[in-house]
C-alpha cells in the first residue's frame, strides 16, 4: 500500500516531466533562446514552460508570476500551485521540472561556459522535481546536490525524480 501511495504521484510527475521537456524544445532565435544567449553571468537560466499558477520569488522575497522566457537568478525560489508545474533550463543545460504543489529553492548555481566547471545546489522543500543534469552533472557529478528536509542527495545519474512531503 505504501508503495502505491509513492509510485502514483511519482509516475504522474515523470509523465508530466517527459511531456514538458518534449514541449520545451526552443528553436534558435525565439525569445527564450535569445534571452538565454544574452544572459549575464549571474543569470542561472530561464523558465522554459509554465502550466497553471507558478511564481518566482527572488532572494529579496519579491514575487512575480512566471512566464516562459523569464530569467532565473542564481538564487531563486519556484513555487507551483495545485495542478501547476514549470520547466526551467539552466545555463549548463540542466533541466528542472517542478511538479504540482511544490516549492524548490535554487540555492546556488555557478557555471563557467569555457571550462564547464561549476556547481549546483537545489533544495526541494515540498512536492516533486525531475532533474536532467547538464554539463556540470556530466563532467563533475560531485558538484551537483539536491537537498530535502531529511536528506542531501549526491547525484550519480543524469535523469532522476525526487519527491518530498515537506514534513521532517
* Nearest to 72, CA basis, from 120, 18, 128: 120
Rounded to two decimals, the pTM is 0.71
Q: With contact defined as beta carbons under 8 Å apart, do 97 and 87 qualify?
A: yes
Q: With contact defined as beta carbons under 8 Å apart, do 86 and 50 qualify?
A: yes
pLDDT of res. 86: 98
Query: Which alpha helices (DSSP H) does the chain contain, by range?
Result: 2-23, 31-37, 135-139
Q: With contact defined as beta carbons under 8 Å apart, do 120 and 3 qualify?
A: no
pLDDT under 50: residue ranges of the chain:
1-40
- Partners of residue 159 on adjacent β-strands: 132
Q: With contact defined as beta carbons under 8 Å apart, do 46 and 72 qualify?
A: yes
pLDDT of res. 60: 85
* Nearest to 147, CA basis, from 115, 100, 92, 108: 108
CA–CA gap between residue 46 and residue 25 (Å, rounded): 13
Find how far residue 72's CA is from the centre of its chain. 10
Q: What is the CA radius of gyration of the chain?
A: 15
pLDDT of res. 41: 53
CA–CA gap between residue 160 and residue 117 (Å, rounded): 22
pLDDT of res. 61: 84
Query: C-alpha grid cell for residue 37?
Result: 544567449
Amino acid at each position: 500500500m505504501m508503495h502505491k501511495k509513492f509510485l502514483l504521484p511519482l509516475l504522474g510527475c515523470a509523465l508530466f516531466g517527459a511531456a514538458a521537456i518534449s514541449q520545451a524544445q526552443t528553436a534558435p532565435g525565439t525569445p527564450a533562446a535569445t534571452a538565454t544567449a544574452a544572459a549575464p553571468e549571474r543569470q542561472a537560466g530561464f523558465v522554459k514552460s509554465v502550466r497553471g499558477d507558478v511564481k518566482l520569488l527572488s532572494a529579496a522575497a519579491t514575487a512575480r508570476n512566471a512566464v516562459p522566457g523569464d530569467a532565473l537568478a542564481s538564487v531563486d525560489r519556484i513555487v507551483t500551485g495545485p495542478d501547476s508545474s514549470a520547466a526551467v533550463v539552466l545555463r549548463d543545460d540542466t533541466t528542472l521540472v517542478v511538479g504540482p504543489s511544490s516549492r524548490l529553492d535554487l540555492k546556488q548555481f555557478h557555471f563557467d561556459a569555457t571550462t564547464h566547471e561549476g556547481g549546483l545546489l537545489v533544495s526541494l522543500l515540498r512536492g516533486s522535481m525531475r532533474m536532467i543534469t547538464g554539463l556540470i552533472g556530466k563532467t563533475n557529478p560531485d558538484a551537483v546536490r539536491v537537498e530535502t528536509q531529511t536528506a542531501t542527495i549526491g547525484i550519480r545519474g543524469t535523469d532522476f525524480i525526487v519527491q518530498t512531503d515537506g514534513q521532517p
